[in-house]
Structure 1
Amino acid sequence: MDKALREHGLTVPQYSCLELLDEQPGLSNADLARGTFVTRQSANVVLRGLRDGGLITRPASAQHGRALPVHLTPAGQERLRAARGAVYAIEQRMISNVAPDRLAALLADLDVMAEALGD
């Protein structure tokens, strides 16, 4: 996935942030760190790269509290769409040899494991 995403000018953590922001616009740095399983400091580095690339917007100061909501720019949405095809192709290759009746159980188990890490 690293190689495929590099062709789109993204890292795996950057792609993960773009996906989360597409699903839930306005997340904070802390929300993105939790959702991508990185530290807040690492999320700051990821967000700085995305902002410098024109893929996200983030206000200079918070209107309420301290959280700075992050949003995709049109360029960010376009880059995500382009990279998503490559990622989905890799996912298809990964699951292609898993029997359909086992795939549902595998995905359910992965969901349970991800939820366990969410706390």
Structure 2
Amino acid sequence: MTTKSPPKLRPVDQRLCFLIYSTSLAMTQTYKPLLEETGLTYPQYLAMVVLWEQDGIAVKDLAARLGQDSGSMTPLLKRLESAGLVTRQRTPGDERSLSLRLTPAGQAMREKARKVDAAFERACDLTEEQVGQLLDGMEVLRGHLQGQR
């Protein structure tokens, strides 16, 4: 009787999970000095990007866009409010729901963010086609993984 040997494990640097993890770390480390002028952390920056796209968004919708739950967004949003970048307001017609509005300072920060975006694109050194391929592949992967829950 022959026994089948277990499959050989891939080395860590040849695993998709590690490549995504280490790339994510490299991205946040790249963003950190770029965001210094704005005073934003990377998670705060992502929230502001959504607000620049959709000012007046409900907190629950912002959380969904960022793949977070509403409760975990509260400390981040309080810091943005303390910095004078957003206001949180009860949504008319639904007192349980909060919406977010950019302040003039929050709107003005968009110009600084454009510089951050341009510097990050230069650091990535990818063509538009390469970026598109990466986005498509990551969306497919995320869809498969979210379907596994």
TM-score tier (shorter): 0.7 to 0.9
Aligned equivalent of 1:46, options 76, 80, 84: 76
Q: Name the CA distance, whole Å, in 1 between partners of 2:80 and 2:68.
A: 15
Work out the percentage of aligned pairs sharing the same amino acid.
Answer: 33
1:100-119 correspondence to structure 2 within 5 Å = 101-113=129-141
Q: Name the CA distance, whole Å, in 2 between partners of 1:91 and 1:107.
A: 14
State the structure with more CA Rg.
2
Q: CA RMSD in A?
A: 2.4
TM-score normalized by the length of structure 2: 0.65
TM-score normalized by the length of structure 1: 0.79
1:62 maps to what in 2?
A: 91
Against the structure 1 CA distance between its residues 100 and 47, is the aligned structure 2 distance closer, same or farther, given a 3 Å change threshold? Answer: closer
Higher relative contact order, structure no. (Cα contacts within 8 Å, ≥ 6 residues apart)? 1
1:10 maps to what in 2?
A: 40
CA contact (8 A) 1:15 1:80 kept: no
Q: Name the CA distance, whole Å, in 2 between partners of 1:117 and 1:71.
A: 33
Q: Name the CA distance, whole Å, in 1 between partners of 2:144 and 2:132.
A: 19
Structure 2 residue runs without a partner (length 5+): 1-30
AA paired with 2:134? L
Against the structure 1 CA distance between its residues 83 and 63, is the aligned structure 2 distance closer, same or farther, given a 3 Å change threshold? Answer: same
User: Per the alignment, in what secondary structure is the counterpart of residue 7 of structure 1?
Assistant: coil
Q: Name the CA distance, whole Å, in 1 between partners of 2:108 and 2:69.
A: 27
Structure 1 residue runs without a partner (length 5+): none
Q: Which runs of 4+ in 1 moved over 6 A?
A: none
Count the aligned residue pairs.
116
1:28 maps to what in 2?
A: 58
Against the structure 1 CA distance between its residues 78 and 113, is the aligned structure 2 distance closer, same or farther, given a 3 Å change threshold? Answer: farther
1:77-88 correspondence to structure 2 within 5 Å = 77-88=107-118
Moved more, 47-56 or 22-31: 22-31
Deviation digits for residues 76-103 of structure 1, max 9, x if unmatched? 0112321331233113321x1x466544
